Chains A and B, each alone.
Chain A
Amino acid sequence: GQNIDQPTEMTATEGAIVQINCTYQTSGFNGLFWYQQHAGEAPTFLSYNVLDGLEEKGRFSSFLSRSKGYSYLLLKELQMKDSASYLCAPETTSGTYKYIFGTGTRLKVLA
């Protein structure tokens, strides 16, 4: 079956670092995407990992271990505007290329 696990909620302080973990089980794995979604808005792309290791993009980094079915999103120098839901989305090739979403992690950044 397909299963994605990530924490439901996290709270952190402005300026801090937070790591959002995601474990997944999917068939036909083709890489993993992270999306950010502010309340009432469209999900927006943050990162994509296809190979094991860390991908860094400004304040955001994402890590993937294919053998462990594990990824994390690292957010540095947190800002208030980072308060949002973060969606872990493995891409599967079962049927077609499509995302399998987790329930998302709601991050609250406090002043």
Chain B
Amino acid sequence: EAGVTQFPSHSVIEKGQTVTLRCDPISGHDNLYWYRRVMGKEIKFLLHFVKESKQDESGMPNNRFLAERTGGTYSTLKVQPAELEDSGVYFCASSQDRGGHEQYFGPGTRLTVT
């Protein structure tokens, strides 16, 4: 069984540019989460999809971030325009069920905004 995959593994962009991160969850996992770790800080929740519906996007920093999961399969996270403080590692995770179930994490996308 393939794990959670994320693309790209590393992205370097200039301030003001746009970047789109992609996450492919484990097949059959309805729940998909995005998290972010900025330098030296803890991993923080961004949002949660159940299939194509956003259940909770309380962790999204601001309206420069847009997450989609059309069709309920893979998800994208777009940052537009990127700012320096957006640099960090963006993790995606998926789980079969909500609550009390292990989340399987992808390897993360390291985003560097210069």
Contact = CB atoms under 8 A, between A and B. Distances in A.
27 contacts: A30-B99, A33-B102, A41-B107, A42-B4, A42-B91, A42-B105, A42-B106, A42-B108, A43-B43, A43-B91, A43-B105, A45-B102, A48-B100, A50-B100, A87-B43, A95-B55, A96-B55, A96-B98, A97-B99, A98-B33, A98-B56, A98-B59, A99-B35, A100-B45, A101-B42, A103-B41, A103-B42
Contact of B42 (A44, A48, A104): A104
Given A41-B107, A42-B91, A42-B108, A98 B45 contact: yes
B99 A93 contact: yes
A31 B100 contact: yes
A44 B99 CA distance: 17
A84 interface: no
A88 to B, nearest CB: 10
B51 to A, nearest CB: 13
Q: Range of interface residues on chain B?
A: 20 to 34
Interface in B31-79: 33, 35, 41-45, 48, 55-56, 58-59
The secondary-structure label for the interface of chain B is: loop
A91 B59 CA distance: 15
Contacts of A44: 105
B105 A101 contact: no
Interface residues of A, number: 25
Interface of A: 4, 30-31, 33, 35, 41-45, 48, 50, 87, 91, 93, 95-104
